[in-house]
Every structure is written in C-alpha cells, then in structure tokens.
C-alpha cells in the first residue's frame, strides 16, 4: 500500500491522505464488503417494478417521469410529504446521467464558506461519497437504497416510453430526447408526432389526467394521477402536453447554438502506479485556480498535451481530460466533444455516438504515447447514454436570467440555490467555450419550474425555465436535485390546498408552507444573504448587461470585465458583427478592414463607424462616402444631439477624442441599438 495526496480542485474539500489498496487479499475483502452493501440495498419498502406492467395501483397522487437525479429527488420528496408517488423511467437502472451517461464528477455548488448549498436529498447522497468524483455502481446502489426506504413510492424501470393523457386523450411525443426515446431501442412511429402540439396558455389551461406507460412488445399500462413532474432531460412529457419552448441559444444568439455532446469512455489496464504517475505529473504543474490536479478518485488537466491531438474530423474535438477512477480499477474519461448534434433527433444522437466511437482508437493511441501512466491502457467500453448538455428550454412563469444569476438575486418563491459558474461549453469546433461569470449565490424561483398554461405540471432539470446563459449554471445536478425536491413538496401542497400550481407561487401562505416543509426535509432555504456585486454600481453596467445578455462578453471565474480598459478596433468590429448578423458580406468586410488598423478607438471614430453602418442599412453608398470624409468630432456632435451621451455617462468621458473604453463601447452600442429599434 502507499499514500499520496495531490493538488485539490477548486470547490473540492481539502485532500485527505487516501490509501490505494492493491494486494489481492485486500481486494477480496473489498468485494465481500460490496456484496454485503448490495444485499442491504435490495428494495424493502418501495415497489421495485422493473419491466413489470402490474403497478401496485392504477392511481397515484404524484407521477414523476424520468429517473435522473432530479426525478429521484422529486419522487422521494413527494413521498416523504405524504403523497402516493410513482416514478417511471425507461432505463434499467436509476440515475440517468450519473449512472447511464457515466458523468461521474459532480459540479459542486458551494456557499461562501465552501460548503455545499441546499442540503436535502442531494446531501444524503453526497455524504456517502468519498470525493466529488464517484464510482458509478456505488451511486446506482445509493439511489436504489434511497427509493427503497420510501413506503409511499413505487418505481417502474425499463419502460419503452410514456405518453401524457389530457382531456381523456393520449398525446404523442414531439421531438423527444433520449429519456423517452431511448437510442438503443426501436419505437413505433405512432408514439411520436410530426406536428408540434397546440401550445398551452394562461387562457387555455391544461390539466393532465394520467399517463400511458408503453412497454416493449406494445403492452400499455394506463395510470391516472393528480399531479405530474417532468424530470426527463428534455422535458418530453411537458412538450407533448403542449408546453411552450425555445431551442437552446435562440434567446441569446438568435439561432440554435447547442453545446457539444459528449460520449464518456472507459479505459482499463491503468495500474495504481499509473494513476499515481498522472497525479504527480499534474501536481507538479498545478495552477492556483484548481483547473488541473488529481486526487484518489479524479484527475483533471493535461489540456496542454491534448492540444497536440488532431482529430479525424472537425465534428470532433478532445478537450482537457476529466478522469474518474472506479472501484474496479477502470477509468472513466470525459473529454470527447461532438459538434452539430441535435439532442431532440434520434438519428443525430446516433450519429454522435458513431463519430465518437470512430475517434476512440486514434485517441487511445495518442493517450498511450503521450500521457504518463496510460501506456498500457485499453478501451473497455463507452457509456450507455450520451451526455447531451443542451436542447430546449421550457416557457415557464418566470425565466431565470443571466442577470439573476450574476447579480446573486433572491426570490420570495425561492425553490433552491445555485452558485456554479456560467460555464458555456464549446458550441462549434473553433469555439473553446466561455465562462460568462461566477455568482456567489443565487436563488431559483419556483415559477421557473412551472410551465405556462398548466394546473398540475412542473418541470425540473436542465430544460426548465432558464435562459440559455443561466442554464449553464442551473443545469448542474446539485441544483437540479434541489429543484426536484422543491417540486415534489410543492406538488403535495398544491393538492392539499386544492390550489392549481400556476397560482401557488403567488400565494404567500403556500410559499411559506413550502419553505417550512423543505426545512423539515433538511433543505437550507432561508433568504439569500449574498449581495449584488460591486460592478452593478458602475456607470456602464447597463451596457455590460446588454452585451452579456447577448452572449458577447465574458467575465471569467473572477468576473473581470475590464470596463475601464480601451477597446481595440477589431474587438469593436466583432461586437458589431455579432450584434447584427444580418450585415451584408461586403459591409462586414468593410467594417473589419476599416477597424483592423485601429489598435484603439476614440469615441468620435466609433460614432463614425456607427454612422456608416446606418447608411449601409438603407443602401446609401453616397452617404457612406460623405461620412467617411467628415471629421470625427463633427460626427460625434451629431450623436450627442441624439442624446446618446446623457447621464449616467460621465461628462469627462463624453469627448470625441477620448479613448473608447470597453464600458463606454458597451453603453454606446446599447443606446445606439435602442434608437435603431425605435
């Protein structure tokens, strides 16, 4: 045996001295302990109805669709609150992304004292783990043990799919994701629709009556319910019932911009000594921010080496390695990115798997040659499910925004808290991702879990009511499980009070009861003590928000927006092109050519550029040439007369020949865009 400790990743607990056991006798003892653990996990109270259409009853108070961690938390919370609850999933094992997608490292959401936020059911799982990275089989058993304890909870696993029933009509799925349309099984075309269902609205409220559980070979089990929680990854149940939604990215960038999809792979034949070599290599090159390093369970880094890898197609890229050591000695690798995948299209998802699997032999050869400790590694498998990060966002009573997150906002109807960075993963091959900013702590309102136009349906998980930037923080598993727990309790309160869920968030008494019950279930749900960051008081903050809401600027982990630094001509041109993608190609070329030689701009030259773009918009080439001949101070005076530099723009910064700072550029673009819109 040996001991080692390595650099600790930001957000992890201080590294403890951890023993890696290698002797055969000790391994046998571990297997015996694991066997005893499995025997203790066998369901006792909950009905384990795997591939069994004979549910214990035909009517439930709460029905939860989807066995991802969010759905498990929702079902347990509802059962603990006294509701007869049914959890239905299509997979053979609970855990979804954690156990089927092999996403075996938790993106922790911590408070200002570096303690996990929320508590509750997530904490019950987290306390059983020895690291932020975990063994997939152990987590699967932990989920089984949790649901087995609940007297009021039945579980069906291995269903083919399920369909919502509303108005006594069974509704087909519309563009379902992999939860209700598993990629490894075939479904009848009659279970899906080509036409988008009629959209629910506040004027036309939908009440669900039940679901139909479809099994292999076409057998159907109808089950009625009083309340429904959609915990599928893509809100498939809600969409089939008529919930409104947007494709990911449309609200921020004006078009679909899904993050890359990942297929996690498993490597075998990496010895304990090999694992230690990798830890030591990174320990000697660790950075203060914790972006690389290693522990007994996890390793993250080697980005400098991976940059030298050349994939076989531009549809695939490999990023820095996230490695997770499993109890059987194998290593899970989260690193392969596949671009251009539509998570709502089964053929596209299957294409992602094909592209990733075709790349793996080449990647393995590279790792064997270039990563110390991997020279003898072998490919030992791939995850049963893809890690699909984004697809669509549901229209809810309130959409959580990037400003809510980065201003650390609280809400009276808070359902849970988050604090993970706004981590935008790569979207195309030449995009390497952005960190828009890092909140201290923000609240997720209950309204962001309530689809518009429903009286008895909530949505939890990454497709809930978040804008596309806020989603990059709120989609993390700890936030999703806490939101699921809140949804489970809210469902019971809604039924007990006979108060439709679309009215619950505005009922202060019901919200108080929600918080009281969550507190009794071990959730920390008091007022958010985090304050807005100091930058909200900057005179150019409205301009910063304008650009940030459109995905045009990032503050990184330190929220450093450099508002007082000069902006280059190229950076100014980039902002304009991204804000106005409908610019003609020749106008875009002119803009870049004109700005290319400007290491820095003054305010007058920036106004001149905008005036030229105005003339381009109306097709007046003569006016454009005249503007170019005008002195910058004259063009600036014209913009001043249009009130573009009124308060809070400081008088000292509203001179034509002053260097254009980033903050001033953002404010100028905000006000100019507002005038153009009117």
Picking from 248, 33, 221, the residue whose alpha carbon sits closest to that of residue 141 is 33
CA angle, 112 then 115 then 118, to 5°: 100
Are 334 and 103 spatial neighbours (Cβ–Cβ below 8 Å)? yes
Residue-wise pLDDT for 182-206, tens only, equals 999 999 999 999 999 999 999 989 9
pLDDT higher than 80, residue 597: no
Residue-wise pLDDT for 76-106, tens only, equals 999 999 999 999 999 999 999 999 999 999 9
Looking at the DSSP bridge assignments, the partners of residue 119 are 523
Its pTM stands at: 0.90
CA 668 to chain centre: 32
Residue-wise pLDDT for 489-545, tens only, equals 999 999 999 999 999 999 999 999 999 999 999 999 999 999 999 999 999 999 999
Q: For residue 27, what pLDDT is reported?
A: 45
- In this prediction, residue 42 has a pLDDT band, given cuts at 50, 70 and 90, of very low
Q: For residue 76, what pLDDT is reported?
A: 98
Q: Beta strand pairing status for 331-338 and 265-268?
A: antiparallel
Q: How far is CA 498 from CA 443, 490, 492, 569, in A?
A: 26, 12, 10, 60
Q: For residue 9, what pLDDT is reported?
A: 33
Task: Say how far apart CA 246 and CA 242 lie, in whole Å.
Answer: 13
Helix (H) or strand (E) holding 586: helix 585-596
Q: For residue 288, what pLDDT is reported?
A: 41
Helix (H) or strand (E) holding 268: strand 265-268
E strands within 82-146? 85-88
> Which DSSP state fits 7?
P
Q: For residue 371, what pLDDT is reported?
A: 95
Mean pLDDT computed over 223-231: 98
- In this prediction, residue 30 has a pLDDT band, given cuts at 50, 70 and 90, of very low
How does 254-271 read in b/e, with b if 16+ C-beta sit within 10 Å? Answer: eebbbbbbbbbbbbeebe
Task: Say how far apart CA 668 and CA 608 lie, in whole Å.
Answer: 12
pLDDT higher than 90, residue 31: no
Task: Say how far apart CA 377 and CA 321 lie, in whole Å.
Answer: 15
As a whole number, the mean pLDDT across the chain is 89
- In sequence order, which residues have a C-beta less than 8 Å from that of residue 293 and are 6 or more positions away? 6, 7, 8, 9, 279, 282, 283, 286, 299, 300, 301
pLDDT higher than 90, residue 70: yes
Picking from 672, 434, 670, the residue whose alpha carbon sits closest to that of residue 540 is 670
Task: Say how far apart CA 50 and CA 597 lie, in whole Å.
Answer: 67
Q: Which tokens is 604 given?
A: 């007058």
Task: Say how far apart CA 189 and CA 179 lie, in whole Å.
Answer: 17
pLDDT higher than 50, residue 35: no
Task: Say how far apart CA 318 and CA 333 lie, in whole Å.
Answer: 11
Q: For residue 55, what pLDDT is reported?
A: 66
- In this prediction, residue 54 has a pLDDT band, given cuts at 50, 70 and 90, of low
Residue-wise pLDDT for 426-484, tens only, equals 999 988 899 999 999 999 999 999 999 999 999 999 999 999 999 999 999 999 999 99
Residue-wise pLDDT for 560-589, tens only, equals 999 999 999 999 999 999 888 888 888 888
Picking from 386, 340, 336, the residue whose alpha carbon sits closest to that of residue 184 is 386
pLDDT higher than 80, residue 11: no
């Amino acid at each position: 045996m040996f001991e080692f400790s390595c650099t600790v990743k930001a957000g992890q607990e201080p590294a403890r001295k951890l023993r890696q056991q290698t002797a055969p006798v000790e391994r046998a003892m571990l297997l015996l302990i694991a066997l005893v653990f499995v025997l203790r996990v066998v369901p006792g109270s909950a009905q384990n109805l795997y591939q069994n259409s004979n549910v214990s009853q035909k009517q439930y108070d709460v029905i939860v669709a989807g066995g991802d961690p969010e759905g498990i938390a929702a079902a347990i919370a509802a059962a603990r609150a006294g509701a007869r609850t049914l959890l239905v999933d299509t997979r053979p094992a609970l855990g979804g992304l954690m156990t089927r997608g092999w996403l075996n490292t938790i993106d922790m959401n911590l408070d200002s004292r570096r303690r996990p936020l929320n508590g509750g059911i997530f904490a019950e799982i987290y306390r059983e783990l020895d690291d932020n990275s975990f063994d997939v089989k152990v987590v699967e058993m932990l989920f089984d043990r949790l649901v087995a304890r609940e007297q009021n909870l039945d579980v069906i696993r291995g269903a083919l799919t399920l369909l919502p029933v509303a108005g006594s009509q069974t509704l087909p799925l519309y563009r379902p994701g992999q939860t209700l349309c598993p990629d490894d099984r075939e479904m009848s075309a009659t279970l899906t629709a080509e036409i988008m269902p009629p959209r629910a609205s506040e004027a036309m409220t939908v009440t669900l009556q039940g679901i139909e559980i479809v099994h292999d070979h076409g057998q159907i089990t109808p089950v009625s319910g009083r309340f429904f929680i959609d915990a599928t990854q893509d809100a498939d149940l809600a969409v089939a019932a008529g919930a409104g939604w947007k494709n990911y990215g449309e609200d921020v960038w004006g078009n679909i911009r899904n993050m890359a999809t990942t297929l996690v792979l498993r490597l075998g034949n990496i010895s304990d000594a090999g694992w230690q070599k990798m830890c030591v290599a990174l320990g000697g090159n660790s950075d203060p921010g914790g972006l690389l390093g290693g522990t007994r369970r996890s390793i993250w880094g080697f980005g400098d080496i991976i940059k030298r890898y050349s994939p076989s197609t531009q549809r695939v890229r490999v990023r820095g390695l996230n490695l997770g050591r499993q109890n059987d000695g194998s290593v899970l690798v989260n690193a392969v990115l596949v671009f251009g995948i539509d998570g709502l299209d089964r053929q596209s998802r299957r294409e992602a798997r094909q592209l990733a699997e075709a790349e793996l032999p080449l990647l393995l050869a590279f790792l064997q040659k270039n990563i110390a400790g991997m020279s003898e590694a072998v490919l030992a498998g791939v995850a049963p499910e893809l890690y699909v990060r984004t697809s669509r966002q549901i229209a809810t009573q309130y959409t959580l925004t990037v400003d809510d997150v980065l201003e650390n906002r609280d809400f009276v109807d808070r359902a849970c808290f988050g604090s993970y960075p706004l981590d935008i993963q790569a979207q195309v091959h030449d995009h390497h991702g952005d960190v828009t900013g890092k909140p201290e702590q923000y609240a997720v309102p209950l309204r962001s879990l309530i689809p518009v136009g429903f009286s008895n349906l909530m949505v939890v998980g990454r497709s809930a009511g978040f804008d596309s930037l806020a989603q990059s923080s709120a989609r993390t598993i700890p936030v999703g499980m806490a939101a699921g727990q809140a949804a489970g309790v809210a469902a019971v309160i809604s039924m007990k009070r006979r108060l439709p869920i679309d009215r619950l968030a505005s009922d202060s008494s019901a919200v108080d009861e929600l918080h009281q019950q969550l507190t009794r279930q071990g959730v920390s749900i008091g007022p958010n003590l985090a304050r807005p960051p100091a930058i909200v008081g900057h005179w150019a903050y409205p301009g910063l928000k304008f650009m940030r809401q459109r995905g045009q600027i990032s503050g990184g982990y330190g929220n450093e927006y450099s508002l007082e630094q000069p902006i280059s001509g190229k950076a100014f041109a980039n902002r304009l092109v991204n804000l106005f993608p409908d610019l003609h190609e020749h106008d875009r070329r002119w803009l870049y050519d004109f700005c290319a030689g400007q290491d820095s701009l003054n305010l007058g030259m920036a106004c001149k550029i905008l005036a030229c773009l105005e003339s381009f918009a109306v097709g007046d080439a003569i006016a454009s040439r005249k503007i170019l001949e005008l002195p910058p101070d004259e063009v600036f005076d014209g913009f001043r007369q249009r009130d573009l530099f009124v308060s809070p723009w400081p008088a000292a910064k509203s001179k034509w020949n002053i260097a254009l700072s980033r903050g001033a550029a953002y404010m100028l673009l905000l006000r100019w865009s507002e005038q153009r819109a009117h």
